[in-house]
Amino acid sequence: MTPPSDSTRPAGPSTPPSPEADPPPPPATVRALPGHVGGEVALSGWVQALRVHARVAFVMLRDGTGTVQCVAVRSQLSEEDWALATTLGQEACVEISGSVRADARAPGGHELALSGLRLIGPSEDFPIQRKEHGVEFLLDHRHLWLRSGIQRAGLRIRAEVEQAIHDFFYERDFVRIDTPILTGAIGESAGTLFETDYFGDPAFLAQTGQLYVESACPAFRKVYCFGPTFRAEKSKTRRHLTEFWMIEPEVAFADSDDNMDLQEALICHLVARVLERCPTELDLLKRDRAVLEKVRPPFPRISYGEAVERLNAGGRDFEWGRDLGAVEETTISSWYDRPVFVYNYPKEAKAFYMKENPDDPRTVLCNDLLAPEGYGEIVGGSQREDDLDRLQARIREEKLPEEAYGWYLDLRRYGTFPHSGFGLGLERTVGWIAGRPHIRELIPYPRLINRLTP
RNA sequence: UCCCGCGUAGCUCAGCUGGUAGAGCAGACGGCUGUUAACCGUCGGGUCGCAGGUUCGAGUCCUGCCGCGGGAGCCA
């Protein structure tokens, strides 16, 4: 950042006599301010709020590392600086120099006694006021909404979770595999795919990287992908995005129980990391940290059959064989104070690639992980069908185009092996950890059924 | 696709059993040494989503359409 070249500050006693201005104060960040108490610094950032009185004005300056109150006292400023400071628009970009001091009256405990400022980029009539707005208005101004406190906190937690995911897998010798986003006709059900043109042929945006990470297992044993996922489902709920980010690990020689162990370890790692590194953000979001502290192993594990029995014992009339709906999931998660695994669902309710349960062929070896507090399913996983004949039979049962799965079936022809994996929805997970009601806030630019801009 | 709800000032909303449009915030101006979404005063600001209907008269009642929100299904 360019230091001010036209400082109007009066010369200090330690400054050698010079007709020119003082040497510019060293640039600093708000986060580093406590280390500069008593010294002069220059901060660059955006005006978050301005409160003007007759002889004193307060500029809340946000620089991306934090927010600090800058105090402008009229009697200590030039007319030009006072006039500039008291007419700054919300979100104007400025460089402010002054001395750092600790003051109990200031939010955050530190403030800057303003001695000079320079307008970098003016801002007039910033659309988002410091008050409540409707969702539509805020999403229309998402590019500006990102600057607000709750959005910054949520997105910072998202970034921390993303980094924690990479660290978790790196420490466990997983190899990251980036799977394709453009795919030919392959997937679980073509109705939920976004179609696009690929040199005259139809192509689809990926709705899962799973088949690809399965193929990388024999190469690296433990792999994961982390990327955008596209679902053309016409869902309009607070749990849905048409474009979201998913993490899909795949582990050779892991069975369904190993798979749940890994999910449990990952979730605990993510929650602990956010508790450790984002306490400020959690407090700003008014997230009850005590609830998150409870997220420790082991998570309860309840089979689909047990869940149905218990639901019906509680007065519900739920038929065995149906998939659990949102109401059932909320009920089940309400029985516990931490995430709960529901495992081994009926075959008809789940995807073709899941391995048949040898102890009960009506079911498959799979699990969902339901987050507490009604946040719903954040993970879906399974042991994969590794038997060629059974897999082919399942593809035919589901009336899927067998020819599209030729390369996938090759994995069962050349050294097939037991393996398991899962998909973790990033925004749902972050939404739950951050305690936000709608996952659209946990992705910088949400893509919803009726929203593609900004 | 279906169910429920909502569209009034730049923003957030009020407006009763129909009788010619209101507040707060934002903006402009003025006041105030310490504010925390500052406060006090003054001023400007409207195709009541669109179209049709009922009525002497519609923001208000009816129909259709559009937009938005929530939910179901489906999913992470």
Alpha-carbon distance values, A140 to A331, A442, A447 (Å)? 35, 16, 12
Three-state DSSP at A376 gives strand
Residues 6+ apart with CB under 8 A from A379: A263, A267, A367, A368, A369, A422, A423, A424, A425
Q: Where in chain A is the domain with CATH 2.40.50.140?
A: 33-121
CATH of span A143-442: 3.30.930.10
Q: Where does the pLDDT of residue A191 fall: very low under 50, low under 70, confident under 90, or very high at 90 and above?
A: low
SS3 call for A44: strand
Distance, angstroms, CA A32 to C1' B55?
A: 70
CA distance A47 to A61: 5
A131 CA to B13 C1' distance (Å): 13
* Domain A33-121 CATH class label: mainly beta
Burial class (CB in 10 A: 0-12, 13-18, 19+), A18: exposed
HEC-encoded secondary structure of A85-148: HCCCCCCCEEEEEEEEEECCCCCCCEEEEEEEEEEEECCCCCCCCCCCCCHHHHHHCHHHHCCC
What ipTM was assigned to the predicted interfaces of this complex?
0.90
CA/C1' separation A240–B75 (Å) = 8
> Which nucleotide lies at the shortest CA–C1' distance from A104?
B34
The nucleotide closest to A124 (CA, C1' atoms): B27
Q: What is the pLDDT of residues A239-295, one digit of tens each?
A: 999 999 999 999 999 999 999 999 999 999 999 999 999 999 999 999 999 999 999
Question: What is the nearest nucleotide to A71, using C1' and CA?
Answer: B34
Domain with CATH 3.30.930.10 in chain A: 143-442
* CA of residue A68 to C1' of nucleotide B74, angstroms: 47
Report whether A217 contacts A249 (CB < 8 A): no
Find which nucleotide's C1' atom is closest to A86's CA. Answer: B35
Contact A194, A205 (CB under 8 A): yes
pLDDT at A430: 97
pLDDT for the residue A243:
95
Nucleotide nearest residue A189, measured CA to C1'? B74
Q: How far is the CA of A142 from the C1' of B25 (A)?
A: 21
Residue nearest to nucleotide B31 (CA to C1'): A54
From the CA of A224 to the C1' of B54: give the distance in Å: 65
Who wins on pLDDT, A170 or A398?
A170
**Nearby residues of A86 by Cβ (< 8 Å), 6 or more positions away:** A50, A52, A57, A72
Q: What is the pLDDT of residue A11?
A: 37
Q: Look up the protein residue whose alpha carbon has the minimum distance to the C1' of B26.
A: A129
- Position A186 confidence tier, pLDDT thresholds 50, 70, 90: low
Q: Is the model's pLDDT at A13 over the cut of 60? A: no
Q: Detail the DSSP E strand segments found in A240-285.
A: 243-252
**Whole-prediction pTM:** 0.91
pLDDT band at A14 (very low <50, low <70, confident <90, very high): very low
- Distance in angstroms: CA A41, C1' B32: 30
- Omega within 30 of 0 (cis) for the link into A454: yes
Q: Which nucleotide is nearest to A233 (CA to C1')?
A: B74
Report d(CA A103, CA A71) in Å as an integer.
11
What pLDDT was estimated at residue A18?
44
* CA–C1' gap, A236 and B55, in angstroms: 40
**In Å, what is the CA distance from A259 to each residue of A212, A280, A343, A344, A354?**
18, 33, 11, 13, 13
Contact call for residues A262 and A272 (beta carbons, < 8 A): no
Let me know: does A251 contact A265? Beta carbons within 8 Å: no
- Measured from Cα to the C1' atom, the residue closest to B35 is A51
User: In whole angstroms, how large is the CA radius of gyration of chain A?
Assistant: 28
Which bases in strand B are touched by protein, i.e. have an atom under 7 Å from a CB? Answer: 1-2, 10-13, 24-27, 31-38, 67-76
Condensed to tens digits (0 to 9), the pLDDT of residues A95-154 reads 999 999 998 888 878 999 999 999 999 998 899 988 889 899 999 999 999 999 999 999
Percent of chain A with pLDDT over 90: 74
State the pLDDT at residue A104: 83
